[in-house]
Amino acid sequence: MKFSGLRVLKEGLTGNNGWAPHWRDPEPKAEYDAVIIGGGGHGLSTAYYLAKNHGMSNIAVLEKGYIGGGNVGRNTTIVRANYFLPGNSEFYSHSLRLWEGLEEDLNYNVMHSQRGLINLFHSDGQRDAFVRRGNAMINQGDDAILLDREGVRKHLPYLDFENVRFPIYGGLLHPRGGTARHDAVAWGFARGADRRGVDLLQNCEVTGIDIENGVAKGVQTTRGAIKAKKIAIVTAGRSGQVAAMAGMRLPIESHILQAFVTEGLKPCIDHVVSFGMGHFYISQSDKGGLVFGGDLDFYASYAQRGNLPMAEHVMEAGMTLMPMIGKAKVLRSWGGIMDMTPDGSPIIDKTDTQGLFIDCGWCYGGFKAVPGSGYALAHLMATGQSRETAAGFRLDRFRTGRGLIDEEGTGSQHNLH
C-alpha cells in the first residue's frame, strides 16, 4: 500500500475502504538473523536500516507493549542539530539530514516541520556561549543565526520583554530545527520495516538473554524462546533492567521527564522556543495545542508519570517567559522514562558478549536522534564497525574516563543533564 495525494483523494471519494493495516501481526519464528529488543523509535529505525541499507530481512523487533507506547510517543517532538561538542555534533547533523529526506524515504507523512528553533539568552556570558555554539554549528555544516533583542522581538513578539526578572538579550536561531509528529515517526518506521520483511512482535516482553561461552544465542520472551545470531538492546529507560539480563551493569540512571499540552488554540507560536534562564521549551502542535516541558523530576524512577512540584516549576517558567500562556488551559500531562548517562551523551556499541549490541543513554534528547541512531546501530550490527558519526558513543568511556562527551558541562550528575 503506497501513499500518495491521488490515493488519499481516491479513498476519500470511495468510502476509505481500500486502506490496509500498516503492518502485519506475525507469529514469532524460532530463529532470526537479528533480534532488536524494544519497539521504540530507535529499535524500529535500526530494523528499518538493517533491512534497507544492509539487505537483511530475517529480523524481529520485540516490543513488550505496543508500538509507540514508550518515549517515542511521549516526547515534546523537538528535532534539531545544534550540538556543540565533536562526537555529538556530527552525529546529530547526520540525523537531521536523514530527517530532511525521511518522509520521501518512508513514504509516510511524519509531519516534519522545520519551523526554526530559538534558544534565548539572558546575559553577556550566555551570549558568548551561544556565539561559540553557533560557530560550531556552522563549522559542522548546519545553520545558526545570532539574533539581538530586537531580532528576537520580530520573531517572538508575545514574549515578555518589559520589566522582567530575566531580560532577553537575544537568541540563537537554528532555522532547520523544528518538530515532527512523534507517533507518526514510530508508525512510519514500523511500516517501512514491515514492508521490507521485518517481523514486529508486540506484547512480546524479553525476560532473559541466553548466553553460552560469552556468545549471545537468543532471548526468552513471554511469547516463547527465540534464537538469534545478533541481538540489540534498544530499550531506552528500561536499558538497565534488560542489560542486567546479560549480566551487565550500565552507567545509566532512569529518571522521569514530564510534558504538558494545552487545549487547541489558533496559531500563535510558530517556532520552537527555549528559555535560557529556566529549563522550559515550547512549540505549538498542528492541532493547536501548546506542547511544553522542562526539567527531569530529579529522582530516579521507572514510573511513566510525574509529580506536581515539577509541574508547578514548568508552569512558572512558562509564565515568566510568556505571561499570555496563563490564559490557556492545560489538558493533559504525562511522563516518560529517560535513560540518563553521566556525561549526557548516548551509547551505541558492542558489548563484551559476542553478538550482543547496545543502544541507549539518549537522556531526554533521543527523539531527534531516531534516524541517526538506527542508521549507526544497523551499520555496527551489519559490519562490526562503528559508523564514523557514532564512533565516540563508546560504552567503555565511563570505565576509562577517556572520550567523555560532556555536552551540558554538568559533570557526572545524571539528574543535572
Ligand X SMILES: Cc1cc2nc3c(=O)[nH]c(=O)nc-3n(C[C@H](O)[C@H](O)[C@H](O)COP(=O)(O)OP(=O)(O)OC[C@H]3O[C@@H](n4cnc5c(N)ncnc54)[C@H](O)[C@@H]3O)c2cc1C
Among 59, 78, 190, 250, binds ligand X (CB under 6 A): 78
> Which range of residues in 35-43, 86-94, 113-121, 400-408 is near ligand X by CB under 6 A?
35-43
357 is a contact residue toward ligand X (CB under 6 A) = no
- Across-strand partners of 347? 360
Q: In what order do the strands lie in the sheet with 330-340?
A: 145-148, 170-174, 117-121, 272-275, 280-284, 289-300, 253-264, 330-340
Among 99, 362, 393, 398, binds ligand X (CB under 6 A): 362
| Alpha carbons 22 and 190: distance in angstroms, whole number | 8
**Site track for ligand X across 251-290, x = CB under 6 A:** ------xxx-------------------------------
The grid coordinates listed for 203 are: 506484547
> Which range of residues in 6-14, 153-161, 223-231, 360-368 is near ligand X by CB under 6 A?
360-368
| Alpha carbons 306 and 236: distance in angstroms, whole number | 17
| Alpha carbons 346 and 366: distance in angstroms, whole number | 9
40 is a contact residue toward ligand X (CB under 6 A) = yes
The amino acid sitting at 203 is N
CB of 94 to ligand X, least distance (A): 15
CB of 230 to ligand X, least distance (A): 16
Residue 332 neighbours by CB distance under 10 Å: 10
CB of 245 to ligand X, least distance (A): 8
Q: How far apart are the first and last CA of the chain?
A: 42
Mapped onto helix, strand or coil, the DSSP state of residue 255 is strand
What is the maximum span of the chain, computed from C-alpha positions, in angstroms? 67
Q: What is the DSSP letter of 27?
A: P
Residue count, binding to ligand X (CB under 6 A): 39
76 is a contact residue toward ligand X (CB under 6 A) = yes
* CA distances (Å), origin 178, targets 31, 76, 192, 268, 359: 40, 11, 23, 15, 24
Among 32, 34, 35, 39, binds ligand X (CB under 6 A): 39
300 CB burial (10 A radius; 0-12, 13-18, 19+): middle
Among 38, 134, 177, 372, binds ligand X (CB under 6 A): 38
The residue number with the shortest CB distance to ligand X is 40
69 is a contact residue toward ligand X (CB under 6 A) = yes
Among 365, 371, 372, 392, binds ligand X (CB under 6 A): 365
CB of 120 to ligand X, least distance (A): 17
**Site track for ligand X across 307-346, x = CB under 6 A:** -----------------------------x----------
Strands 170-174 and 117-121: antiparallel
> Which range of residues in 145-153, 210-218, 312-320, 364-372 is near ligand X by CB under 6 A?
364-372
102 is a contact residue toward ligand X (CB under 6 A) = no
| Choice between 152 and 242, CB closer to ligand X | 242
70 is a contact residue toward ligand X (CB under 6 A) = yes
The answer for 29, left when phi > 0, alpha when psi is -120 to 50, beta otherwise, is: beta
65 is a contact residue toward ligand X (CB under 6 A) = yes
2 CB burial (10 A radius; 0-12, 13-18, 19+): exposed
**Site track for ligand X across 210-249, x = CB under 6 A:** ------------------------xxxxx---x-------
CB of 396 to ligand X, least distance (A): 22
| Alpha carbons 22 and 282: distance in angstroms, whole number | 31
Q: Contact 45/147 with Cβ under 8 angstroms? A: no
The amino acid sitting at 109 is N
CB of 43 to ligand X, least distance (A): 6
Point out which residues bind ligand X (CB under 6 A): 37-43, 62-65, 69-72, 74-78, 205-206, 234-238, 242, 257-259, 293, 336, 362, 364-368
